[in-house]
Amino acid sequence: MIKVGIVGGTGYTGVELLRLLSAHPDAQLTAITSRKEDGLPVADMFPSLRGHVDLAFSAPDKIDLAQCDVVFFATPHGVAMAQAPALLAAGVKVIDLAADFRLKDQATFEKWYKIPHTAPELLEQAVYGLPELNREAIKSAKLIANPGCYPTTMQLGFYPLLKAGLVDASSLIADAKSGVSGAGRKAEIGTLFSESSDNFKAYGVAGHRHTPETSAQLQRYTDDKVGLVFTPHLVPMIRGMHATLYARLTTDISNEALQALFEQQYQDEPFVDVMPFGSHPETRSTRGSNMLRLALHRPDGSDMVVILVVQDNLVKGAAGQAVQCMNLMFGLPESTGLKHIALLP
């Protein structure tokens, strides 16, 4: 059994990790930290876990995380970089769901996240945890930088086109929407029910921290300079993410060939569903599951390809993807503990 520790088990990604790992046949929940909730049984905070998780939260200074085989950080940015060096030195594998290790360039990280990076020596060692595009590196990794939710949709949507050299890499556009849970489990005016319900708005239009992350990863797949315009939006739902991606073709290609390109790229991927050409994937078709669904469109037969991508921002966009990485790191079948079918309605 893999002994698992979770740092920051009280947020939305933390409880999603608890939900997935408590039912994982090869994982043993060993430690869950929370300074504020020290001593509180996990099931008292999250009744959905009654009968499944019998641990209590522990203050970080009261528990030895070095007893774990892997530690997940479901914490604000800056926490993992402070604790990862000691854990790695003790032989513990680390999976960070925040952004501490997603960007290889220290200056870029500090520009976008407004905090100093205290473990820059680990930036090159960290492996970006998007299994569909980085599987072999993940298998041998000690430190995983779990991708952001928006970047997951953008990368899996644009990747086949960039890899094949079919589109203008300098003019990629992503118009994406996320449920309110993407903002985390905290009290903020913008995510209060009266503010977000019956409302729709864009944010981060002038610049969003997921843009440099996505651009840097997409740049790996093309020799042309990547130019990405990314606009996120907040929609009045709890879970779910929908990205509408636009790319301009530079080569004459049929719709059938475009569809075949995506189907062949993802034919062996357990968590990417390429729907029939012209389909309209819905966020509810992925709710509670680790599945990402996408569909291609070609408006009026033009040179513009539109890719619709949906996922659950807390599962494939966060905790589920982290567990997917854990499975690979420990030599397990990739889909272990992640075969949940989406909730409908």
What is the per-residue pLDDT across 74-124, written as a single tens digit (0 to 9) for each? 999 999 999 999 999 999 999 999 999 999 999 999 999 999 999 999 999
- Same-domain status, 98 and 180: no
pTM of the model: 0.96
Percent over 70 (pLDDT), the chain: 100
Task: Tokens for 93, please give them.
Answer: 């594998």
- Same-domain status, 158 and 277: yes
On whether residue 223 sits in a domain, the answer given is yes
Strand partners, 29: 4
The pLDDT of residue 195 is: 86
Percent over 90 (pLDDT), the chain: 93
- Same-domain status, 9 and 121: yes
Known catalytic residue at 149: yes
Strand partners, 269: none
Query: Span 305-331, mean pLDDT?
Result: 98
- Same-domain status, 79 and 227: no
In whole angstroms, what is the distance from residue 85 CA to residue 229 CA? 35
pLDDT-wise least confident of 57-61, 140-144, 239-243 = 57-61
For residue 293, give the amino acid letter: R
On whether residue 90 sits in a domain, the answer given is yes
The pLDDT of residue 301 is: 87
- Same-domain status, 308 and 171: yes
In whole angstroms, what is the distance from residue 276 CA to residue 59 CA? 50
pLDDT-wise least confident of 8-12, 29-33, 40-44, 338-342 = 8-12
On whether residue 40 sits in a domain, the answer given is yes
| Owning domain of residue 31 | 2-125
Token look-up 């604000």 returns: 76
Per-residue pLDDT at 187 exceeds 80:
no
On whether residue 76 sits in a domain, the answer given is yes
Q: How many domains does the chain have?
A: 2
Nearest alpha carbon to residue 253 among 148, 121, 186, 165: 165
**Cα distance from N-terminal residue to C-terminal residue, the chain:** 35
- Same-domain status, 119 and 158: no
- Same-domain status, 14 and 103: yes
From the list 2, 149, 261, 322, the catalytic residue is 149
Per-residue pLDDT at 325 exceeds 90:
yes
The pLDDT of residue 189 is: 84
Query: Span 144-170, mean pLDDT?
Result: 98
Query: Would you say 63 and 87 are in contact if contact means Cβ atoms under 8 Å apart?
Result: no
On whether residue 51 sits in a domain, the answer given is yes
Per-residue pLDDT at 267 exceeds 90:
yes
On whether residue 319 sits in a domain, the answer given is no
Instruction: Return the H-helix or E-strand segment holding 193.
Output: helix 193-196
On whether residue 68 sits in a domain, the answer given is yes
Cα dihedral sign for 84, 88, 90, 96?
A: positive
Instruction: Return the H-helix or E-strand segment holding 324.
Output: helix 320-329
Per-residue pLDDT at 317 exceeds 80:
yes
On whether residue 330 sits in a domain, the answer given is no
User: 61-78 burial, b for 16+ CB within 10 Å, e for fewer?
Assistant: eebebeebbbbbbbbebb
User: 92: domain CATH number?
Assistant: 3.40.50.720
Interhelix angle 149-163/255-266, nearest 10 degrees: 120
Query: What is the tens place of the pLDDT at every residue in 23-75?
Result: 999 999 999 999 889 999 999 999 999 999 999 999 988 999 999 999 999 99
